[in-house]
A = this chain, B = another copy of it.
Amino acid sequence: MHTLGSNCLLFLGTPQPVAVRRVSRLVATSSWSNLHAIGLIESVWDQKFGTPRQGSLAPDARANLTLDLPGGLCAGHALEGIEEFSHVWLIWAFSLNKNTATNSKVRVPRLRGRRAGLFATRSPYRPNPIGLSLVKLEGVDGDTLQLSGVDLVDGTPIIDIKPYVPQYDSPLAMPGGLGESSVRIAPWLEEVQTESLEVDFSPAANRALQDQKGALLCDSEVFRRTLVQCLESDPRPLYRWRRERTACSSDYQVQIDGIAAHCRFERAADGTERVLVEQIFPAST
| Residues of chain A at the chain B interface (Cβ within 8 Å) | 1-4, 8-9, 11, 15-22, 24-29, 31-38, 40-42, 54-57, 59, 62, 64, 66, 69-70, 72-89, 91, 93-95, 97-99, 101-105, 116-122, 126-130, 132-134, 136, 139-142, 144, 146, 149, 154-157, 159-172, 174-177, 182-187, 189, 193, 215-216, 218, 258
User: What B residues does A84 contact at CB under 8 A?
Assistant: 120, 184-187
User: What B residues does A140 contact at CB under 8 A?
Assistant: 1-2, 4
User: What B residues does A149 contact at CB under 8 A?
Assistant: 174
Q: Are B174 and A144 in contact (CB under 8 A)?
A: no
Q: Are A54 and B168 in contact (CB under 8 A)?
A: yes
Q: Of B104, B122, B141, which contacts A168 at CB under 8 A? A: B122
Q: Of B72, B85, B94, B184, which contacts A102 at CB under 8 A? A: B72
User: What B residues does A103 contact at CB under 8 A?
Assistant: 73
17 additional contacts (CB under 8 A) given A126-B160, A166-B183: A2-B140, A16-B141, A18-B141, A19-B62, A19-B64, A24-B41, A24-B155, A32-B93, A35-B128, A56-B174, A70-B127, A80-B104, A81-B121, A91-B132, A119-B161, A130-B160, A175-B193
Q: Are B186 and A81 in contact (CB under 8 A)?
A: yes
Residue of A24, A87, A98, A116 with most chain B CB atoms under a 10 A cut-off: A24
Q: Are B86 and A32 in contact (CB under 8 A)?
A: no
Q: Are A95 and B132 in contact (CB under 8 A)?
A: no
Within the complex, the shortest CB–CB distance from A82 to chain B, in Å, comes to 4
Asked, given contacts A86-B171, A134-B168, whether A19 binds B56 with beta carbons under 8 Å apart, the answer is no
User: What B residues does A127 contact at CB under 8 A?
Assistant: 36, 38, 69-70, 73, 160
